[in-house]
Amino acid sequence: MIYSQQGFVHEQSRGYVWPEEENVLEKLDNWQDLKFGVLFHWGLYSVPGIVESWSICSEDEEWIPRDSTVSYEEYKRWYRGLKDQFNPVDFDPVQWSDVMEKAGMKYAIFTTKHHDGFNMFDTKESDFSIAKGPFKNHPKADVAKFVFEAFRQKEFMVGAYFSKPDWHSQYYWWDYFATPTRNVNYKIDRHPERWENFKQFTFNQLQELMTLYGDIDILWLDGGWVAPPRQDIDMDRIVAMARTSQPDLLVVDRTIRGKYENYQTPERSVPTEQLPYPWESCIPLSSDWGWIPNATFKTPAEVIAMLIEVTAKGGNLLLGVGPTPEGIIQPEVETILGEIGDWLKINGRGIYNTRITPDYHSGNVWFTAAKDGKTIYAHYVPDNGKEIPSVIEWEGNIPGKGSKVTLLHTNKPVKWMVDGNKTRIVLPVIKNHTNLPLVFSFETL
């Protein structure tokens, strides 16, 4: 399943290396129980409602929009000048956490710094920060701190998104040269001291996040082109520091196969097949990660169908939501997420704390299994715009003889029969149903 794309999309890394630390493996297993999380992109790009960061990258790509009436350098100055306008006086992280809790989400990742280098936390390493502009005197000026606290209060796992490239830092995009691509714009072997400064700058910022912002469960590192051998930032040193303060930290060095990619992150897509290791599809609710005006959003039915497919294939779904420039979750998004949460209140048993089962897909039906393997959940996903038929059938995962098949929507047993390798379910009349997926639980043979 691949969704419409806007912006750079990370490809999925090939292969997986399991962590060796027992506490990290335990945390990873707990994370796999959660299934549904939120990723917040919020920054300078939210002020005009444009694609995050990428418009200041001078690569000639269709998805990198920029005002063609001004020069690149003029545009970059305009974009960076948005720091003097970003004043989200309605910022309400408790509202964020209330909305996401009602949506049935269980973990939250917040963008502390995107590629543009604008910091959404009170870093001592740069003045290019929400805490240094017109918002500086607000009691919640150290934005990341209050986002993390609001979600911890709801017992969410919390994660810090952090961009490894920094297009504002003179140690990465040096003004002495032009900035032709997303990469460092000087030759590291000719200017090794400048790269060492960048490595230390990155280390220092991550040290701030890992030591001054409470318990962090996930370090979600973006910008996979910053990696050995060409752009080595010494991940061994960074992770050793981070896990001194956060011993069971999950590190997600996106697309960099190895011991620091604790789970994979296919972007805007769902793998074609079931995967036997930890992964997460990150997909925005609209076409963009951040807030844009007049956005078209995925429907509750579309998100629930994604969540079911992702879960049946062994992953988690990380849904991208962009808070408004004023600092709240807009009503349209709250309504959509609320409907998803209402469905999960009834059917969440088939999603949370489940694992894969070998026969995981049959027609419109996807299967998940309880962690002990004793209970199977069959998720019927109706075709778009079509009524749910009175008889639902699937192949494989046959209920055990005499087993009770329960429709979670009513929490009552339904009539069923077996014909060869097919199970047929006869649906009763269902009151107050909105054509969203139906979930059945049963024990197999």
Structure tokens at 329: 């979750």
Distance CA 226, CA 49 (A): 27
The reported pLDDT for the residue numbered 433 is 73
Distance CA 282, CA 110 (A): 13
The reported pLDDT for the residue numbered 387 is 83
Q: For residue 142, what are the CA distances in angstroms to 93, 115, 122, 124, 234?
A: 12, 19, 5, 12, 28
The reported pLDDT for the residue numbered 11 is 62
Please tell me what DSSP assigns to residue 139: T
The reported pLDDT for the residue numbered 15 is 82
Task: Give 121-140 pLDDT, tens digit per residue.
Answer: 999 999 999 999 999 999 99
Q: For residue 253, what are the CA distances in angstroms to 23, 77, 222, 247, 257?
A: 18, 30, 7, 17, 8
Grouping H, G, I as helix, E, B as strand and the rest as coil, residue 263 is: coil
pLDDT band for position 9 (50/70/90)? low
Distance CA 142, CA 200 (A): 22
Contact 427, 414 (CB under 8 A): yes
The reported pLDDT for the residue numbered 392 is 95
Distance CA 53, CA 19 (A): 32
The fraction of the chain above a pLDDT of 70, given in percent, is 97
Ranking 32-36, 45-49, 64-68 by mean pLDDT, the lowest is: 64-68
pLDDT band for position 6 (50/70/90)? very low
The reported pLDDT for the residue numbered 386 is 80
pLDDT at 62 over 90: no
Q: At residue 114, what is the residue type?
A: H
Task: Give 371-418 pLDDT, tens digit per residue.
Answer: 988 999 999 999 987 888 899 999 999 999 888 999 999 999 999 999
The reported pLDDT for the residue numbered 434 is 77
pLDDT at 283 over 80: yes
pLDDT at 229 over 70: yes
State mean pLDDT over 231-250. Answer: 98
Residue 435 vs residue 167, higher pLDDT: 167
Nearest to 353 by CA among 317, 311, 319, 318: 311
State mean pLDDT over 218-236. Answer: 97
pLDDT band for position 10 (50/70/90)? low
Tell me the pLDDT of the chain averaged across its residues: 95
Contact 311, 354 (CB under 8 A): yes
The reported pLDDT for the residue numbered 430 is 82
**DSSP string computed for 46-90:** GTTT--TTGGGS----TTS---TTS-HHHHHHHHHHGGGT---TT
Helices 235-245 and 192-212, axial angle in degrees (round to 10): 20
Ranking 12-26, 118-132, 266-280 by mean pLDDT, the lowest is: 12-26
Contact 152, 214 (CB under 8 A): yes
Task: Give 311-363 pLDDT, tens digit per residue.
Answer: 999 999 999 999 999 999 999 999 999 999 999 999 999 999 999 999 999 99
Structural domains present in the chain: 22-352 (3.20.20.80), 357-443 (2.60.40.1180)
